[in-house]
Amino acid sequence: MFDAIERVPGDAILGLIQQFKDDPNPKKVDLGVGVYRDEDGITPIMRAVKAAEKKLIADEATKAYIGSHGDPAYGEHVLKMVFGADSPVLADNRASATQSPGGTGALRLAADFIASQLPGKSIWLSDPTWPNHLGVFSAAGLDIQRYPYVDEHNQLDFEGMAAALKTIPKGDIVVLHACCHNPTGFDLSAEQWQAVLEIVTERELLPLVDFAYQGFGNGIDEDAYGARLLAENLGEVLITQSCSKNFGIYRERTGCFIAVAADTEAMEDVRSQLAITARENYSNPPAHGSAIVATIFNDAELYAMWHDELAEMRGRINELRQKFVQGLEPHGLAERFAHVAQQRGMFSYTGLSKDQVETLRDEHSIYMVGSGRANVAGLNDANMEYVCNAIASVVK
């Protein structure tokens, strides 16, 4: 029966992991895989996480299921982190939190919810967007459409984006990146978010805000500006959130699907459907990651430690962006790559072509995604000059 099954190419980004491992060059640099790395090239376990896990091991009394909506304490803390403790959305009890296996699990929950409860609606993605958006929404059977996000000069094309949003059929879903846009690093300003709100309101669109990197851009509250603006001014918003990155617990798969409804009654209706959607998908989410997050939020000392560590990570990434542009200045390329210092989050749409990316890999053992997306966190003081020299050689 398996004779008819065809072999398909693996995920391009995950494939870079193996290519990098197999490369014998001692100078090799991994700018492809989307995880945070410290100055030593390690994805560290945060000190606050380590301390929380010690506490959990000592205090945990059961390994029983936590229910389709997940840990209530985790959900409560995530809602406060996303909307702010004094949010009118929370005061009016308009938001529901359903814990998910990572941000990707939250996206699949959203996709299945849309497919079952909002049939016939198309979902609009930025061009470019995170490649797995296409996979997740396609697997759920949704019709995918695109709106422009980056122009031919590798700059944020907000004019083109806004024009496209104004043509979207009423009632369709539009996916927006809350901050640290993946893969480009180009984020919307406060004024641009206001413009998006006006368009979404006029066109009666349903925003789905992908919020995977809260705290990696400009700060916990600063990065939430767009999500909070939409939730406070619209009757209905969907948000997919992740703690995998800002707590450094990638393998614990710790995410959350948030639905904002017009009032409490409507929220409970949606929440009841989400319990069924989760049950039919994976039944119950894993508990360890959410317990770590809840433990940190429940302990003032651990929370302060985590907050400071996240600020250090964010500061390091932004400093690396500046150093990268400065490193290209002797080659006369600082102006060409100035946008890298303006972008936010771990990722940068460098503007390098596919051929240039392949040359960097084949001749210099520098790995990044074929689109030219680089993970800035893979840079450090030891490899910065080597990477800048290599980029200069392929560009010139």
Distance CA 40, CA 389 (A): 20
β-pairing, 373-375 with 347-349? antiparallel
Indicate the SS3 state at residue 100. strand
The amino acid occupying position 127 is D
Alpha helices in the chain (DSSP H): 12-22, 47-59, 72-83, 88-91, 102-117, 131-139, 158-165, 190-203, 220-223, 225-233, 264-281, 288-297, 300-328, 339-342, 354-364, 384-395
Q: How many CB atoms lie within 10 A of CB 284?
A: 16
- Residue 7, φ and ψ in degrees, nearest 5: -80, 135
The answer for residues whose C-beta is within 8 angstroms of residue 342's C-beta and 6 or more apart is none
The first and second tokens of residue 6, run together, are: 């065809």
Give me the active site residues, please. Answer: 130, 210, 245
Distances (CA, A) of 114 to 173, 255, 307: 9, 18, 34
- Residue 349, φ and ψ in degrees, nearest 5: -85, 100
Distance CA 202, CA 190 (A): 19
Distance CA 254, CA 243 (A): 6
DSSP string, 356-392: HHHHHHHHH-EE--TTSEEEGGG--TTTHHHHHHHHH
Residue 38: HSE in the Cβ half-sphere, 13 Å Cα cutoff: 10
β-pairing, 347-349 with 237-242? unpaired
